[in-house]
Structure 1
Amino acid sequence: MTTKTTRVVVVGGGLIGTWTAFFLVKRGWDVVLIEKGVVGAQSSGVNFGNLRLQGRHPGQYPLSLRSQAIWEEIEGLIGDRCEFERTGHLYVAMNEAEQEKLEQHARVAEGHGLAIERIGRDELRRRWPWLGEGLQAATYSARDATANPRLVSLAVARAAQRLGAEIVEHTRVTEVRRNGVGFTVETDTGLVVDCNAVVNSAGAWALAIAEAFGETAPMFAAGPPQFVTEPIPYQVVPSVQAVDGSVIFRQIPRGNVIFAGYPRTAADPVLNRAPVPPNKTLSGMRNLVRIAPFLRSAQVIRVWSGIEGYLPDMLPVIGESETTPGLFHAFGFCGHGFQVGPGVGAVLADLIVDGRTDTPIAPFSISRFRNAVQVSDKLAHEFDAPAAPGGRAG
């Protein structure tokens, strides 16, 4: 058995955990990050890579905009650009009802200071002639961006290590318990860490820690079916998303087109599997060709998904435990964690170091699950019926 002492233990080496460790150690706090596998191997490393500002829940905008500002400075912060590119985001509608949804999203975004451009059918085809003729309208946000998820968590972890953080991989946390005013964290490798604070950023596996301290949330595991095509001539600069969520795609400068789309598929956090049924890929290909007909003959070369935690209101849990001072939760990001990850890390560092944050996070309190929460319309729309739970699963 090896015992050590630190100020903060971060449980989970995804994007949330690594950014939290980075901002804490940057502010002079000792940090040990413990990851059950390897850093960035779960949803943080296999997601679509979209840094989308359009279409967010109103309560997420302050956090999302803080996060985007960090993304825009990523190379100066961690010494690696991670293929961050301000590509813009094109939100497209097929009919009048979808156009009205676009307008609703645009008004909310503009209310938080985001510049949104409205584009009619004719101009849409003129500016992006590769789009399908069935599209009626779109909104465009030039500040939206993309980055490579396979690179980011590792790069942030390396930057945190250079500043003094300790990263421990292939080590599963088996118990977190109170130890006076602090905590003792035990692992399956015999490592025991005494600390002042614990950050629970264990993704789809985070409920075990929350429930050990008398808290819970109706979280379940799922993941978006994704695929990538062979390289083809580069022409799609913005990230493109259908407002109904059936198509989300972008092209990287190497030529490959990356696709994600709803409904999401089931995932198994126990067996650590997120299989994609073949019908999901075929349906996604058909939907993609409706939006971008030029991809009709493109060959799909790889299919995958990830294990993500979802909550019924499609909002994450972020903030200090309601039962246990010094325990901080950050999980259940419902497929939105990549964009907000840097902002969440900065907010958690605020809370731990300063005891407060200027970024509003009240909508994300775990205490909201003491009573029934309003189920998001997105649940029914973005998930297959068997995957959308009435209560907790996973």
Structure 2
Amino acid sequence: MPGPYVVRVNGDENLPEKVDVVVIGGGIIGTSTALELAERGQKVALCEKGGIGQEQSSRNWGWVRISRRDPREVPLMAEALRIWSGFDKRLGRDTGYKRAGIIFACPDDKSYEEHESWGKNLEGYQLPSRMVSGAELDALLPGGNMKLKGALYTPADGRAEPQKAAPAVAEAARDKGAAILTECAVRGIETSGGKVSGVVTERGRIACDAVVLAGGAWSNLFCGLYGIDLPQLKVMNTVLRTKPLEGGPEAALWSKDFAIRKRQDGGYTIASGHENIVDIVPKSFRYALNFLPALKMEWSSLSFRFGGRFFEEARMPARWNMDEASPFEYNRVLDPKPSLDMSNKAFNGLKAAFPVFNKAEIAQRWAGYIDVTPDAIPVISAVDQIPGFHIATGFSGHGFGIGPAAGRLMADIVTGRSPVVDPTDFRFSRFSDGTKVRPLSGF
């Protein structure tokens, strides 16, 4: 089953001989990084093995949220909300962004107290967020019949269209002088004097002084070529979208059974609120201890399966020569088959809670691989082992909304500017410096 339709970005025909920075990966993180660098006068080449935004950047829910974030991400997400508010004007293109609010449903006292406690993370940010209940909550969820203690409602949150956003950012980066190279996999990096001096792509070499790896679920494989151990696994999430429907809620809504977002076309994006599939692969065993704290916290929401993906990854080479095709050229787009059971369960739960959705027609289903780290927060960092090499990956399902600010922070690090937020929590070295690496909450 094909993934969602993504606005097409035609890649440049000519490969630049030399740039300041090569960005590997054309999702929301890579394109945002390229835009920030290009706007600062850096010569940039963005290399994408497939098409811009074809993987998880176009397959996510489309939420732009600060609510229920890991507290370590809150400062960066606050910056992201500021960027999104003027993003379309800055890009000169439509991302579908709208500040429409997000509601997190609380069915009982325990859930209510947890969400109310989380709200303290926004103190000092002047971002509207509050607990709601009774008539106020009913007004936010017209036509609903959910039995709720209350909800966390954050009007500052919003939504955008994943199938539009990364392409819009890539085109804006090109407007600023960046080279946008699609179907141009980077096979590896070159060094001179121990520092980055270039990359080798399937179309030839590009000299550069810095590289940013924003490769999403592929980042671990790329890093392994240089003995850099990036603990990263994949989780599969399934999404469906409906045709336009009148009468549904305007604000996005999360509950345990389902999560929904109104789309720009009047339809809805629908997914399970907590269920995901984990394919057991060879690296599942390698990183089992790293991910044990997260597994204990999220065990009830994960469905483990053993199947074809194990053998696909087992056959995938860990090393290759620069003059031969890399694994990135044999699989241009990760396009897993969606789980009908999970999406039907979410859809049926939604119809029970909001009878208007009994009239909704399913337009499409798709799935995507979320790349996760053991502590469920990203790596946005230089890599000490190879001066000039940087990583921006591992966003653990939180990357779409935070992407523009992550790109800004990565550009700050690459160019040596004072960082927009303290990047300490996102440093790559946390996996090897004795830090206790684990999620801070079940959110």
Q: TM-score normalized by structure 1? A: 0.89
Q: Does 1:8 align with 2:46?
A: no
**Residues 1-394 of structure 1 mapped to structure 2, 5 A cutoff:** 4-110=17-123, 112-180=125-193, 181-189=195-203, 191-242=204-255, 244=256, 246-261=257-272, 262-266=274-278, 272-370=334-432, 371=434, 373-376=436-439
CA contact (8 A) 1:201 1:331 kept: yes
- The Cα RMSD (Å) is 2.3
Report the 3-state secondary structure (helix = DSSP H, G, I; strand = E; otherwise coil) of the residue aligned with 1:304: strand
| Pairwise CA distance, 1:375 | 3.9
Q: Deviations over 1:51-98 (max 9, x none)?
A: 011111111111101111111111221101311111111111111111
Q: What per-residue deviation string (whole Å, max 9, x for no partner) do you get for residues 278-335 of structure 1?
A: 2112221233234433323423221111122111211111111132221111001111
8 A contact 1:213–1:324 mirrored in 2: no
Deviation string, structure 1 residues 159-204 (Cα, Å, up to 9, x no partner): 1111111011101111113123432211223x10111000010111
Q: Which runs of 5+ in 1 are unaligned?
A: 383-394
Q: Structure 1 residue 10: deviation in Å?
A: 0.4
2:207 alignment partner, SS class:
strand
Moved more, 52-61 or 95-104: 95-104
Q: How many residues align?
A: 377
Question: Partner of 2:395: helix, strand, or coil?
Answer: coil
Q: Cα distance 1:232–1:358, how it changes in 2: closer, same or farther (>3 A)?
A: closer
CA 1:2–1:147 in structure 2 vs 1: closer, same or farther (change >3 Å)?
Answer: closer
1:263-282 CA-to-partner distances (Å, cap 9, x unmatched) read 12246596633222221122
- Name the SS of the counterpart of 1:276 in structure 2: coil
Question: What do the CA deviations read for 1:6-49 (whole angstroms, capped 9, x no partner)?
Answer: 11000001111111111111110100111000111111112111
Q: Per the alignment, do residues 368 and 167 of structure 1 end up closer, same or farther by CA in structure 2, a change over 3 Å counting?
A: same
Q: Is the 8 A contact 1:234 1:253 kept in 2?
A: no
| Aligned partner of residue 132 in structure 2, secondary structure | strand
Which amino acid in 1 is paired with 2:202? D
Counterpart residue identity of residue 239, structure 2: Q
Secondary structure at 1:309 match in 2: strand
User: For residues 110 and 351 of structure 2, what CA distance do their matches in structure 1 show?
Assistant: 21
Aligned partner letter, 1:321? V
Indicate the residue corresponding to 1:389 in structure 2.
Answer: none
**85-94 vs 227-236, greater mean Cα deviation:** 227-236
- Which one is further off, 328-337 or 119-128? 119-128
Determine what percentage of the aligned residue pairs are the same residue.
27
Secondary structure, aligned partner of 2:143: coil
How far apart are residue 253 of structure 1 and its match? 5.0
Q: Is the 8 A contact 1:225 1:304 kept in 2?
A: yes
Counterpart Cα distance in 2 of 1:254 and 1:6? 39
Q: Which runs of 5+ in 2 are unaligned?
A: 1-13, 280-308, 314-330
CA distance in 1, matches of 2:83, 2:202: 35
Point out 4+ residue stretches in structure 1 off by more than 6 angstroms. none
Displacement of 1:228:
1.1
SS in 1 for 2:112: helix
Residue 362 of structure 1 and its aligned partner are, at CA, apart by 1.1
Quick check: 2:258–2:347 contact (8 Å CA) kept in 1? Answer: no
